[in-house]
Structure 1
Amino acid sequence: MSESSLDDLLQTVFTRLFSKGRSVSSTRGKSTELIGVLLELKNPLSRLSRSETKGKLFSALGELLWYLSGSNEVDFIEYYLPRYGENSDDGKTIYGGYGPRIFRHRGHYDQLANVIELLERKSSTRRAVIQLFDGEDLFEHHTDIPCTCTLQFFVRQEMLHLHVNMRSNDAFRGLPHDIFAFTFLQEIVARTLKVKVGTYKHSVGSLHLYDVEETKAVSFIDEGFQSNIPMPPMPTGDPWPSIEVLLNVEGRIRRGEKIDIEKIDVGSYWKDLIILLLIFRESKTAGGAQVVSYLKSKLSSEIYVPYIAMRERVLKEVTKQRELFEKEGA
């Protein structure tokens, strides 16, 4: 299955699951499954769904930053995905968290840095592989082990291609977030290597749609095809200093610190992502409508406006519920 945008790819995936998938049962419930699937996203920057059903920019961005920070802490990811803690063995960490496996594999190997260094030395290499799933993960029971097996990077004709291998993938919840995070990582590596972004391929052993999500998948299909508007391209040059600023400010935002967006010394592309994180925080607070409106006016790209409108609807509901509670209390 090959498409130019995430929405087109999801349309094809859900339709194929309904027409060709077979029913299976697992510990997480009944699902419809396809075995041995290869997906291709021809434009990795078209990584965001434009639909009402799957337009989940904020949680996808939060999960990406969780990876980039090298963290596997529950408190971090639950801020963006409240149910993620269900995957924890101890209530504090996620055993299968990707961040430590990418940046501190076996306690000290920075796999991403090693891959970049290898590609800089020999661009034609076939060894630029990051391993996430490990044989040791099967030795004892854990609530969560990585669904992703490997990320393999290829530089061909001055373009960086990424091929991801998954042992298992939830088509409705996991797939859109995985594609967002991995294509973003692909773009980071491409900028670091000073090459263009190539195609993205996503190979899945078991691609499945849980029965409880079928109605939502049908709603997505019924929304029809969306306009293909990619994210703005990442600026050329070394992205890591800006990523360091982004991660630092993200932590401050999550801790509730006051942030003056005008004093953050980072380019407009990265500042937009910081603004989105601020909007996410304020949209969870009754009375934050004015701040969200102000922050929205500071964005350099209009592509994010529809996602902010979704958060503004959440904010209106929060405000309405609070006013109702105060009225009843009076």
Structure 2
Amino acid sequence: MPALDLTSSSVDLTRAICDIHSESDDETLLADAIEAAVSAYDHLEVIRDGDTVVARTSLGRSRRVVIAGHIDTVPINRNLPVEDREIDGQKFLWGRGTVDMKAGVAVQLKLAAELTDPAVDITWMWYDHEEVDSSLNGLGRLSRNRPDLFAGDFAILGEPSNGEVEGGCNGTLRALIRTDGVRAHSARSWIGENAIHKAAPILARLAEYRAREIEVEGLVYREGLNAVRITGGVAGNVIPDACEVEVNYRFAPSRDAAGASRVVHDVFTGFEIDIVDIAEGARPGLDAPLAKEFVDAVGATPKPKYGWTDVARFSALGIPAVNYGPGDPHLAHHDEERVPISQIDDVERGLRAWLSAS
């Protein structure tokens, strides 16, 4: 088992963590290393659930903060081991996981080891299976198995945010829009009904759709409705009798699941619609006292999080949560994934200062 030295810098820890391959469903080696590393510190109580590791302080503070990060990555594509690169005078760590989100995890691990007397009690969570189907998500599993571990007044998720504070998140919905036809030989197409042709209005409505911008508690969230997959066809000489367009709707956190579903049904009136997955977003929650103190301490101007993140799980439990981590979210999952070294240092300083003085 590779050893993690939590006395090393956050930058060096990022390199070490990224070089331990942990694609989704293969996180055990990294989870073992994390568990072994944090178990060496007496001020932390360590709990293991599958490949999720929790470490928490119990100092009797009046407030508790939950700080979480996922340890899995999307598949590697010739972008490990981590390399040091310089682009236009700026130094980067380049490689899978540097952005999403092992740099954030590295900062958290270092602070978990070093903050023996924080101003608030802290529950650190490093969890598995974030990059795959939500039913497998380690944070979701932990909330079912050990809901007591989620007690807290505020939560921070180390998702990449360019070292800025991103409040809440959009919700996400996937729907299958279907058309039916009648099979026939393509040489006698008039005998059948082409289900793919019938899908043309679906694509037209998507092309005509204009993303809405919706203000929620002072942050403006941008919605989106897009086709992400289309299937249909039987053979090169057969008129297809079925077609299916998969649509992804990203909706502002002002909408609940029922409201988002209504939007999709309104847009695609007249078609067969099957909602196959939906996850509500999270309102910013920046009016919570700890949230205000955190934003002030790191000197941030909060922005909206357009993608869905696990802050929604905390929000559903009544815990205000924000995204705060190094890395450009546009480079998450990118083959040239890379994080500025300066952002890793900045996020560590921001979290350290706040947790020490809040």
**Same fold, TM exceeding 0.5?**
no
- Place the TM-score, normalised by the shorter chain, in its bin: under 0.3
Greater RCO structure (CA 8 Å; 6+ sep): 2
TM-score, reference length from structure 1: 0.26
Larger Rg: 2
TM-score, reference length from structure 2: 0.25
